[in-house]
A and B are shown apart, each in its own frame.
Chain A
Amino acid sequence: MDLLEFAKELGIITTIAVVVLLFVLVVVLYLVLKLRWVIARIQSRLGPNRTGPWGVAQTIADALKLFQKEDIIPRGADRLLFTLAPAIVFIPAYLVYVVIPFGDGMTPRSLNIGAIYFSAISSIGVIGIIVAGWASNNKWSLLGAFRGASQLIAYEVPIILALAAPILITGTLDLNRIVQAQAGGFWHWNIFQGMPMLPLAFLIMLVAGLAEINVAPFDIMEAESELVAGFNTEYSGMKFALFFLAEFAASFTLSAIIVTLFLGGYQPPLHILGGQVTAKLFGVIPLFSLISLFWFLFKCWVVVLGIMWIRSTLPRVRMDQLMNLSWKALIPAGLANLLLTGAYVAFWMAK
């Protein structure tokens, strides 16, 4: 590869990065608004309805307000690490979007180790949270960071164990090929395959994922009633915005990975609703990818709504309950599930 080609490659990579970043921003804008609507609805409140029609401009107003805030670095804080921490949290949350198959042929960068890339990159974020809590020089922050570290470490293990089940059954680490293996109607989706191992893996993934993205009932690292705001107590302005962005970006990532691994990714629920048929009817080829993109986003939307429903109805767990759930319930269940799946693949599917 000569230098010109290399520069061209760099250009392509930059373009992809910018597109993905814009997508993340739009998703977060929408999710923040949706969350406020959904929680207001569930709690019988009105929710945002003043800024723009039905309050659609609420997040934009929030963002503008956030940008105007003074950027405060507390005295006694480690200035360098305090500034770096939001970036360490945000960059991994943004990088995982690179391997998500958004639609047929619409993966920003398809890797043949996509599933492992996902869990590897998302494991970096915890360092940022610890650093943020420590660098703030504030006891609430430090307590939040401590809780966060033990929580994120504990729940990474069941996620990886749950991840292994669909990988074993489809026999590939490539997220694209996992989606392709689920083609042909909703009964081919992984969640309806390999009874009962894959549905169990789905449940483990969902519960551990909720803890990993740090939402109620597992939001003890920023439990408002105990820790003010946890690890980001001292943050304001743009730095706080980055944490906020990373949190909502991660909740979309969780639903995207669940949809990809268990709910058929961009595959339509029935073949007739897919792009191939519509493309034949109307003779428009690009429509094919767009329809698969629609199905992917629609499924993610449903999963996100489910997550919002859970977080607005369940009370927060205690620290010890949180640890017990992971180490004594999810991890043993995940290990047993992995063993069963292995046996299933070796003795049943081999036939």
Chain B
Amino acid sequence: MKKSICVIDDDMIYQLIIGKIISRSGYFHKPLFYKNATKALADFKSLETELPQVILLDINMPQMDGWQFLEALIKERPNLDSETDIYIVTSSIAHSDRLKASTYKQVSGFLSKPITVSKIKEMGVRLK
């Protein structure tokens, strides 16, 4: 049974790449892409909407960045941590970002780009 996954990232090239990697992994359906966190938030904030089982979230995005999106979504969905696995996926290697991520119980992991097929597989395995 394939799992649902969503990618929020403004980098269009990355979206293409991650799409290939996720399909290679074989654990997930074709991912849901958002290049803009505002749009994603608008889709996810309603409690009636079922969230994807995994969300890969970029930090550096125009308009609304990953942290703002996370804060807003937590506000909308208090039980967020049990609803989905959120992974921060960023090209940042700043330690401050990694530390910040660890303060959120809703964040399941902090990953630096590039992401490999095996990492995606681990996410899939973890869901089982």
A and B: real partners? no
